[in-house]
Amino acid sequence: MNLEFKNKRISGILTILPSREVKFEDEMDNYNFSRAKSLKLKLAMGYNKHRIVEEGTCASDLLVFGMNHLINNNLLNKDDIDALILVTQSPDYFMPPTSNIIQGKLGLKQDVICMDINQGCAGYILGLIQSFMLLDQPEIHKVVLLNADVLSRKVSKRDRNSNPLIGDGASITVVERSSEECTIYGSIKMDGSHADALMIPAGAFKMPSSVETAEMKEDANGNFRSLDNLVMQGDDVFNFVQREVPPMIESLLERADVKKDDVDGFMFHQPNKFMLDKLADRIGVPREKMPSNIVANFGNSSGVTVPINIVFNVGEKLTHESKMLCLAGFGVGLTWGTLLINFSNLHFCESIDY
């Protein structure tokens, strides 16, 4: 589905990362890899270190901490917030919505829309799409988009498919109307027939958690996980990304009448270095224009990787320069989406540790 948004802008991004850093080497003995194979994979996949929350830390903890940082430093006036959109797969509770909990903890006004969206790797794209749409309402002037996931709590430490790359994190993005004429082009697609490619089978209403779902079992490749854990069909996801994402990016740029050379950066979701390098080659952009260093430094935090990517790689420049960035997210759902946005003179674009 092709989308266009008129006169909207991102005015600030803050990422919040758990201060606890775990090194790949310290976890290698958990997996059924030889040391040599682990070290080869470290290079190819970009495994190095990842940020993991302490036991018991929730998405709301990271976000309330980040919101208080912005409010206390006069980077955000809480009375100006007309909508609070949270994209997460790790809510505090099934009910009530975590966005309502955050609104209550921050003491935001009642004249506000709070909304939880369940999305994963494309969560930043979907959250921005929702934010842009809300800004078409005459009484909504400022939307705060929250993205957060603490999925390390749902990953088996003995699952070499997922554990080395998973990371936790959160982001806060302020979205407003732009006083300058501009168009943001976007596109998003879904394929729920492959919804099982990335999932946590147990723990909700279809398969409630039980003693049976918590039982650790070994798969064909020697990974140990339970039905309560995240499971990923990595090769299926890889093939889907290589097949579906390049034509979507080509179509987006063609619609926007923008050449690849004129895009300053392709700030994509960060599944692993190997997948991103292959994706850059397929799209036909230099690998250095598509950063793939987030898994190595922080881990894959699902919908939060795109803002972490932006802040880590170009954040400092965005506070005093203009840059045309192509964003893309792809994975859970399956969902894949992209946005082409001109970032200019952000009020803040930084990261803090929790």
Partner 1 sequence: MKEKIVTILNGLRPEFDFSQPVNFIEEGMLDSFDVINLVTELESTFGISIDGLDVLPENFCTVDSIMNLLKKNGVKE
Q: 42 to 71, contacts with partner 1 by CB under 8 A?
A: 43-45
Cis peptide before 91 (omega within 30 of 0): no
Determine the interface stretch with partner 1 among 34-42, 57-65, 72-80, 109-117 (rule: CB under 8 A). 34-42
Smallest separation, CB 242 to partner 1 (Å): 4
The smaller minimum CB distance to partner 1, of residues 57 and 292, is found at 292
Task: Tell me the CA distances in angstroms from 330 to 88, 94, 244, 274, one per residue in order.
Answer: 15, 25, 9, 15
The smaller minimum CB distance to partner 1, of residues 53 and 279, is found at 279
The Cα–Cα gap between 85 and 282 comes to 33
CB proximity list for 298: less than 8 A, separation 6 or greater: 17, 49, 50, 51, 167, 169, 308, 312
The smaller minimum CB distance to partner 1, of residues 203 and 234, is found at 234
The smaller minimum CB distance to partner 1, of residues 287 and 347, is found at 287
Task: Find, among 311, 246, 242, 250, the residue nearest to 271 by Cα.
Answer: 242
The smaller minimum CB distance to partner 1, of residues 31 and 132, is found at 31
Say if residues 59 and 170 touch (Cβ distance below 8 Å). yes
Q: Is 16 in the site for partner 1 (CB under 8 A)?
A: no
Q: Is 279 in the site for partner 1 (CB under 8 A)?
A: yes
Residues forming a β-bridge with 65: none
Smallest separation, CB 192 to partner 1 (Å): 23
CB proximity list for 279: less than 8 A, separation 6 or greater: 241, 242, 245, 246, 268, 290
Task: Tell me the CA distances in angstroms from 332 to 89, 175, 233, 244, one per residue in order.
Answer: 10, 24, 11, 14
Site string for partner 1, 167-206 (x = CB under 8 A): ----------------------------------------
User: What is the three-class DSSP state of 8?
Assistant: strand
Determine the interface stretch with partner 1 among 4-12, 41-49, 141-149, 254-262 (rule: CB under 8 A). 41-49
Q: Is 235 in the site for partner 1 (CB under 8 A)?
A: yes
Smallest separation, CB 149 to partner 1 (Å): 23
Q: Is 77 in the site for partner 1 (CB under 8 A)?
A: no
Please name the residue that has the structure tokens 């794209």. Answer: 125
Smallest separation, CB 290 to partner 1 (Å): 13
Please name the residue that has the structure tokens 């850093």. Answer: 21
Smallest separation, CB 42 to partner 1 (Å): 11
Q: Is 220 in the site for partner 1 (CB under 8 A)?
A: yes
* Binding test (CB under 8 A) with partner 1, winner from 21, 106, 213, 234: 234
Please name the residue that has the structure tokens 């990517």. Answer: 309
The Cα–Cα gap between 214 and 188 comes to 35
Smallest separation, CB 282 to partner 1 (Å): 5
Q: Is 296 in the site for partner 1 (CB under 8 A)?
A: no
The Cα–Cα gap between 298 and 168 comes to 8
Say if residues 202 and 208 touch (Cβ distance below 8 Å). yes
Q: Is 35 in the site for partner 1 (CB under 8 A)?
A: no
- Residues lying near partner 1 in the complex (CB under 8 A): 33, 37, 40-41, 43-45, 160-161, 220-221, 234-235, 238-239, 242-243, 274-275, 278-279, 281-282
